[in-house]
């Protein structure tokens, strides 16, 4: 028997950011796996990450760095967005902020994984942090 799923627009940006994380994982492997062969990287269990990375050019490591970053601050986004969803918040401003956060994280990924200008990357990160703060304040207001 079919059931109707209530509108939960905050779930779509959450899922979109998870999908983007998988895109970055694919980008990471597309560069990193060939580099292991090209630069004759020892992949034995005794090797440290630092030893392996020392032999791979930095620009080939940027997507991996970003993949790791997508497991840091975005976890707060997931928690806040899911909390807001659970609280039934679905106004346009909140959903727009959630999408803005996702968009800024995608921009951050592309900036870091392609050219990696630190100050540009920082500005995008700061903007995404500000948006995440807005979502957090909204959640705090709703639960008070």
Confidence of residue 3 (pLDDT cuts 50, 70, 90): low
- Write down the pTM of the prediction: 0.93
User: 75: buried, middle or exposed (CB in 10 Å: 19+, 13-18, 0-12)?
Assistant: exposed
CB-based contacts of 95: which residues, under 8 Å, 6+ apart? 9, 10, 13
Q: CB under 8 Å to 71, separation ≥6 — which residues?
A: 21
Asked if the structure places residue 1 within a domain, the reply is no
CATH number at residue 88: 1.20.120
Structurally, the chain folds into a number of domains equal to: 1
Give the pLDDT confidence of 74-126 residue by residue, as tens digits.
999 999 999 999 999 999 999 999 999 999 999 999 999 999 999 999 999 99
Asked, for residue 84, whether it belongs to a domain, the answer is yes
Domain span at residue 34 reads 11-143
Q: Which residue do the tokens 């899911």 mark?
A: 82
Phi, psi of 55 (to 5 degrees): -95, -10
Q: What is the DSSP string of 63-85?
A: HHHHHHHTTSTHHHHHHHHHHHH
Q: Which two tokens stand for residue 85?
A: 């969803």
**Does some domain include residue 20?**
yes
């Amino acid at each position: 028997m079919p059931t109707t799923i209530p509108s939960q627009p905050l779930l779509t940006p959450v899922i979109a950011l998870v999908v983007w994380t998988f895109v970055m994982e694919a980008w990471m492997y597309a560069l990193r796996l060939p580099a292991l062969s090209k630069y004759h990287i020892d992949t034995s269990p005794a090797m440290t990450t630092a030893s392996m990375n020392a032999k791979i050019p930095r620009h080939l490591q940027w997507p991996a760095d970003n993949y790791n970053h997508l497991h840091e601050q975005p976890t707060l986004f997931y928690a806040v967005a899911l909390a807001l969803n659970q609280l039934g918040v679905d106004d346009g401003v909140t959903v727009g902020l959630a999408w803005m956060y996702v968009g800024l994280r995608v921009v951050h990924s592309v900036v870091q994984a392609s050219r990696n200008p630190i100050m540009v990357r920082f500005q995008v990160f700061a903007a995404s942090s500000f948006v995440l703060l807005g979502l957090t304040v909204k959640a705090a207001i709703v639960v008070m």
